[in-house]
Amino acid sequence: MQLNIPNTGQKRILIAGSGFAGLKLATKFADTDFQVVLIDKNNFHQFQPLFYQVATAGLEPSAISFPLRKIFQRSPNIFIRVAEITGLNLDNKEVFTSLGAISYDILVLAMGVDTNFFGMKHIARYAIPMKSVAEALSLRNKILQNFEDALMETDAEKQKALLNIVVVGGGPTGVEVSGTLAEMKRYILPKDYPELDFTKMNIYLLEAGSRILAGMTEQSANHAEKYLQKSGVKVLCNAQVSDYDGEKVDILNNIQIPAKTLVWAAGVAGKPTEGISPDLYARGNRIKVNNFNQVEGQEDVYAIGDNALMIEPNYPNGHPQMAQPAIQQAKLLALNLKRQAQNKPMKPYRYFNKGTMATIGRNLAVVELPFIRFYGFLAWLTWMFVHLMAIVGVKNRLLVFINWFWNYVTYDQSLRLIIKSAEKK
């Protein structure tokens, strides 16, 4: 079966994935002489940096999600299909999807990455990751339901496990979700559940390495750890999780933590696609590309964003898997494909590090820019402004701003809803 895309006689660019990289690339070709086919398993773009705020009841899912068809309403050359990529035939320039096959002139792989459980089956089964809006909602349901169950639990140890939350991974996501949970424990949960003793609730942040925020300077990491500890988060470094059975977290140095909630933010990996040689995959299942984002040995196949591995002198292990490298690669690839169509030489990619930041909670953040580092309230305002401006859609920005303003003024959130899927009778 063939994917039903009209033949317009234009050169067809097939983009697999609508994350930061895929969406940016598609917008650069809106209203051009190229036909663009954008394929994603969702019909919306999701703003990953704020998944944790959905998970902790700070934002609605719709505030950080934006329909793809709305973005391209006025771009007749862009065709959107909601499907999953199942395989490739690079020799015949064909992509296989859950809806059928489609040919391409230029293929761009921007499928991103998924959670990496490092082969630990029990953790994959019981832990909750945050790589999608659906997973963030699942985490929110889990946390709130545990508090409801704790009200009915008479066994002290079982109640402790229901109250405890363990976050694994000391990167920005782990730091941000831990800090937000600490705020909930301090300002919100005691008002919602006055019958529970929240002095018995512990929030743990576990990091296998020697310090949190390994991608930032030691000074910034120290500030972040100090802020977290002041907020009541128990930060444990050199704490490698070995197993989890849904009731207790096992750490390699014979430590056990009772917890019914384990948030997994410890790593990501790409998902291999049938038709791509295993030799083209590097660590974390990232696809090897040259400095033009061309997949090695392929002329018309490119990979951008988190699923691409490009080696630069300053980045021997590839670029950080964050929004900025993805967006920058998409912008340059769009320029290069247009130059290529004009028989002009392509320009090599060089990553420009615009900085890194993480928020720890109310009035607290750490920010590193190429020319300055700063912390605390100003860093927090900077973090909010940057993330607000990066969200797609004026309405979405307004929704996020209203929620943030309300939370700041009232020390409260209004989205603590346990939303379960309806069961068929």
Residue with tokens 């591995």: 309
Which regions of 313-412 does DSSP assign to beta strands (E)?
Answer: 356-361, 364-369, 372-375
135 is a catalytic site residue = no
Cβ neighbors of 220 (< 8 A, separation 6 or more) are 213, 366, 368, 373, 375
Helix, strand, or coil here: 299? coil
Q: If you write DSSP's letter for every residue of 117-153 in order, what string do you get? A: -TT-HHHHHH-EE-SSHHHHHHHHHHHHHHHHHHHH-
Cα 133 versus chain centre, distance: 9
Helix, strand, or coil here: 218? helix
- Token duo for residue 129: 């990751």
351: nearest Cα among 283, 299, 301, 304: 304
Residue with tokens 């391409």: 104
Beta pairing, strands 203-207 & 44-46: unpaired
Beta pairing, strands 364-369 & 372-375: antiparallel
Whole-number Å distance between alpha carbons of 9 and 34:
9
Geometric angle at alpha carbon 48, from 192 and 81, rounded to 5°: 120
Active-site residue among 94, 148, 153, 176?
176
Would you tell me the crossing angle of helices 156-163 and 133-152 to the nearest 10 degrees? 160
Q: Are 123 and 140 in contact (CB under 8 A)?
A: no
Whole-number Å distance between alpha carbons of 59 and 53:
6
- Token duo for residue 323: 């929004």
C-alpha neighbours within 13 Å on the C-beta side of residue 257: 27
Catalytic residues, by residue number, are: 176
